[in-house]
Structure 1
Amino acid sequence: MELLLQSCDLATAFLLIYGLRRMSSPATASSGIALAGIGMLIVTLASFLYAFGVKGEARPHLPVNLLLAGIALFVGTGWAWWRGGRVPLTAMPQMVALYNGMGGAAAAAISAIELLVHPDVGNVRLGIAIAGGFIGSFSFSGSLIAWAKLEGKLPKPWRPRFLQIGNGLVLLVAVASATAMPALLPNSQLLTLFFVFSLAFGALITLPIGGADMPVVISLCNACTGMAVGFEGFVLNHPALMIAGTVVGAAGSLLTLLMARAMNRSLGNILFSNFGETGREETQVTGQLKPISAEDAATTMCYARKVILVPGYGLAAAHAQQKLYELAKRLQEEGADVKFAIHPVAGRMPGHMDVLLAEAGVPYEMIVGLDEINGEFPTTDVALVVGANDIVNPAARTDKGSPIYGMPILDVDKAQQVYVIKRGQGKGYAGIENALFTADNCRMVYGDAQEVLGQMLQSIKELVGQR
């Protein structure tokens, strides 16, 4: 039995690492996810065998525990299978936040049980169990707040006076209770105090963070969940948990730092400051918005030789990714060089736009990142922005008073002609005016993205038919 369990752990470790390697390329990401999923299935089923793998230990509650575990596995798998197939792509960030939170909650629950049942495991393992419990609790409550913000349950950041002082006191109580644990365990009251204040700290530190920073928060919670799982894997002496947690924690941490860098902000600035408060006066946007019909915009695009398409969250909200790809193919048929420009923090979570375009069947070679595409905008005839806002705002380059000053953006304003498809005249996720929209070379096409793109397609077909 021991050999079988070790073999399962080894197979799981290989599948997780190899699956992650394949996820590094869009062409192989799907198979990488499947391989990693198979690895998790193996170790999950093997965990039931673990109940029979330890000899000489009396476990009178084993039948009940196995029954409860089986029920939990059945309900969890059924709910995830049913719900996962029905979640629209626009709600994927919320689902990811919830899954992050559930992983953190599971790690915190393991920590609580180990601290109550096996408080004499030694100072090192005890310390790691406490750390895993704190990080897991932080991830759980923080992820729930992130979910509520993305779902619209908490539409505004909560920023009362002296919040940071209150957060410090909450953290101090959590640390003090953790410090007292080695001498006082098993003590259910102390353990309850520790987890209550750990959960409170995760919620309180996430509440003030604005919606524009939610992608970074989700990535951070993902990293925290991985670290918590890795810690609890060490406590349980479970290699698969240690490897999976370490891989997730490392990948999530790296992604969090890369995203913060893409916004030209430090992680500390995101967590401990109010986004949008720069201490400098923001330059007022002058000029008029210049609307144009979808048909007139399509006429210009029909004769363009080079077109760059810039998708944003508005494209996902309108479910218009298929229409945009149809437009791209039509323009290619007319001889245009067409590419999709992707900003690292476009959408509401890392890779949101990449997944959106992959769902529509856009070839990977047409999707270009910020660093590679920015040099091409000055030679581009038409740049079409669909539902993006802050990531194309030139104020990030020119206005030192802007909250997004210094953030790398797509240099859409340098194209010869810019068209922006937008539902209305509202501000972006960061809540600031966009200087691009009033630029001399920019025209606004108002309406639902799917309808507007459909009108553009029809107009191009009619123009071609009249030749």
Structure 2
Amino acid sequence: MNAILLLSYLIGSITFIVGLKMLSHPDSARKGNLVAAFGMTLAIIATIFLYGRDSGAPLHNYGWIFGGLAIGAVVGTLAAKRVKMTAMPEMVSLFNGMGGACAMLISIVEFNHLLHAGTENIGKGILLIIILGLIIGTVSFAGSIIAWGKLNGSIRDRRIPGGQMLNFILLAGIVVLAVLLLAGSGINPDVLFYATLALAALYGILFVMPIGGADMPVVISLLNSFTGVAAACGGFLYDNPVMLTGGILVGSAGTILTIMMCKAMNRSLKNVLIGALGGNKTASAGGSKEQGNYKEISINDSAVLMAYARKVFIIPGYGLAVAQAQHVCHELEKLLEEKGVEVKYGIHPVAGRMPGHMNVLLAEADVPYEKLLEMEEANQEFSTTNVVLILGANDVVNPAAKEDPSSPIYGMPILEVELAEHIIVNKRSMKPGYAGIENDLFFKPKTSMLFGDAKKVLQELVSELKNL
């Protein structure tokens, strides 16, 4: 039985690796999810029915196990089917938080088991893994819940005076408590353990609380890596290869993505860890100057401008997701190509509310993957572009990131759309973007504003193009 169980774990581990590889391209991403899900299902079933058979101590609480599986499956399925694309980031944060909570609960349960066995029998290695799982899982859980609340608008950004120093103190306190617990200092282990839990939860809350605006994708990616590392601790704890593999894959992938996001935002990973994303500048600092006047453009003029262009770039943003306009955007792209216009998409790494948000959005509409250009590639082509159509993007095209040292997004690499001949910006209003600052681009001579819901505007553009 043990050999079959290990074989199941091996198959599960392989499917995780294959599934992750398949996620690297939209054409195979759906299958990659199914492959990884199959491996997880196999590992769960094998654990339930085969674990402990050879030692004579199999699992026996089948009612609780299958009851939990049934509830989780129903809730997860309904949530996944009903979630809107605009709500996807907060759902990702919530589900990621649940993973951190699982790692936290595993550490609590196993610590209590060790205490009942007698503190003198606690191995330092096992205790270290339990403590690490507790700290990382708790930070991930608490931070993800705050991120979920901030993304759905129920929690506002709160910058606490001296917040960086407080975070340093909390981290130092967590380390000291963990060392005392490992060293067997004579202090009640329960007190040390649950004090560590409390400080880790407080740190998770405080390091995410002040973060807002375009920095949120970095936080989601970082918390995702935390959950993976916490899950890997559980794999070490239970000597479970498939849990270990899954945790390592999530942790390493999340860490790499976090570094990429930090580079895209021009932030250091150190600032992420101490909760200092965005620096100490306020949102109002970048929007306090006189901007002048903006000019509007009609649907007809926009359609004519694009129809007779050689190259058009479309810049998708959160407004496109809110309007659920990705399908009509693809229709616009096809109509322009029929008229001989070269159409490409410029994708900023942190556009939207989570890493890859725009890629997922456009893949849903079957936009060819090769048309999606990352920021560096797109920036090289804007100087030869006739028209840039910006759909709901804001902070990722704001020239203040390059020109205004007082702006809270100063130093962030952006899509340099101002290099194009003509810029058309579709927004509902002149309201600032997620970072809460005015966009200098809207007042540039090359820029024209096309107000309205993205889906409605695109539908009207499609109608105009068909009549040209």
When normalised by structure 2's length, the TM-score is 0.93
1:142 maps onto 2:168 in alignment: no
Question: Deviation of residue 56 (structure 1)?
Answer: 4.8
Give the letter for the 1:96 counterpart: V
Match of 2:80 in 1: 84
Match of 1:75 in 2: 71
1:97 maps onto 2:97 in alignment: no
1:38 maps onto 2:38 in alignment: yes
1:421 maps onto 2:422 in alignment: no
Alpha-carbon contact 2:208-2:275 (below 8 Å) kept: no
Q: CA 1:263–1:341 in 2, change beyond 3 Å: closer, same or farther?
A: same
Matches of 2:277 and 2:248, distance apart in 1 = 31
Q: CA 1:54–1:139 in 2, change beyond 3 Å: closer, same or farther?
A: farther
Matches of 2:14 and 2:209, distance apart in 1 = 38
Question: Deviation of residue 116 (structure 1)?
Answer: 1.1
Matches of 1:252 and 1:121, distance apart in 2 = 32
Question: Deviation of residue 30 (structure 1)?
Answer: 1.7
Match of 1:129 in 2: 130
Give the letter for the 1:136 counterpart: G
Question: Deviation of residue 447 (structure 1)?
Answer: 0.7
CA RMSD, 1 decimal: 2.0
**Which of 431, 442, 448 matches 1:443?**
448
Matches of 2:290 and 2:265, distance apart in 1 = 21
Stretches of structure 1 lacking an aligned partner (at least 5 in a row): none
Give the secondary structure class of the aligned counterpart of 2:346. strand
**Which of 390, 412, 415 matches 1:410?**
415
C-alpha offsets along residues 376-429 of structure 1, whole Å, 9 cap, x if unaligned? Answer: 111111110000011111222222332222222111111111100000011111
Give the secondary structure class of the aligned counterpart of 2:352. coil
Matches of 1:185 and 1:39, distance apart in 2 = 44
Matches of 2:105 and 2:203, distance apart in 1 = 17
Matches of 1:276 and 1:292, distance apart in 2 = 37
**Which of 428, 436, 442 matches 1:431?**
436
Match of 2:253 in 1: 251
Q: CA 1:413–1:20 in 2, change beyond 3 Å: closer, same or farther?
A: same
1:12 maps onto 2:12 in alignment: yes
**Which of 330, 340, 344 matches 1:335?**
340
Give the letter for the 2:459 counterpart: G
Alpha-carbon contact 2:16-2:39 (below 8 Å) kept: yes
Match of 2:280 in 1: 277
Give the secondary structure class of the aligned counterpart of 2:126. helix
Give the secondary structure class of the aligned counterpart of 1:28. helix
Q: CA 1:106–1:206 in 2, change beyond 3 Å: closer, same or farther?
A: same
Matches of 2:26 and 2:399, distance apart in 1 = 30
Where do 1:39-438 residues align within 5 Å?
39-57=39-57, 62-63=59-60, 65-119=61-115, 120-154=121-155, 156-182=156-182, 183=184, 187-270=189-272, 271-273=274-276, 275=278, 277-278=280-281, 282=286, 284=289, 286-438=291-443
Q: CA 1:7–1:261 in 2, change beyond 3 Å: closer, same or farther?
A: same
Question: Deviation of residue 443 (structure 1)?
Answer: 0.2
Question: Deviation of residue 157 (structure 1)?
Answer: 1.2
Q: CA 1:281–1:104 in 2, change beyond 3 Å: closer, same or farther?
A: closer
Question: Deviation of residue 51 (structure 1)?
Answer: 4.1
Matches of 1:211 and 1:442, distance apart in 2 = 24
Matches of 2:54 and 2:109, distance apart in 1 = 18
Alpha-carbon contact 1:115-1:185 (below 8 Å) kept: no
Give the letter for the 1:435 counterpart: D
Matches of 2:418 and 2:17, distance apart in 1 = 42
Give the letter for the 2:416 counterpart: D
Q: CA 1:185–1:361 in 2, change beyond 3 Å: closer, same or farther?
A: farther
Give the secondary structure class of the aligned counterpart of 2:82. coil
Give the letter for the 1:273 counterpart: A
Give the secondary structure class of the aligned counterpart of 2:26. coil
Question: Deviation of residue 433 (structure 1)?
Answer: 1.6
Alpha-carbon contact 1:285-1:435 (below 8 Å) kept: no
Alpha-carbon contact 1:285-1:434 (below 8 Å) kept: no
Matches of 2:462 and 2:285, distance apart in 1 = 43
Matches of 2:179 and 2:337, distance apart in 1 = 65
Q: CA 1:364–1:70 in 2, change beyond 3 Å: closer, same or farther?
A: same
Q: Percent identity?
A: 44
Question: Deviation of residue 33 (structure 1)?
Answer: 1.4
**Stretch moving more, 116-125 or 437-446:** 116-125
Matches of 1:237 and 1:329, distance apart in 2 = 53
C-alpha offsets along residues 166-215 of structure 1, whole Å, 9 cap, x if unaligned? Answer: 43444444334323334269854443322222212111211111232111
Match of 1:2 in 2: 2
Q: CA 1:407–1:164 in 2, change beyond 3 Å: closer, same or farther?
A: closer
Alpha-carbon contact 1:138-1:201 (below 8 Å) kept: yes
Alpha-carbon contact 1:108-1:134 (below 8 Å) kept: yes
Alpha-carbon contact 1:285-1:433 (below 8 Å) kept: no
C-alpha offsets along residues 422-449 of structure 1, whole Å, 9 cap, x if unaligned? Answer: 0001111112221111111110001111
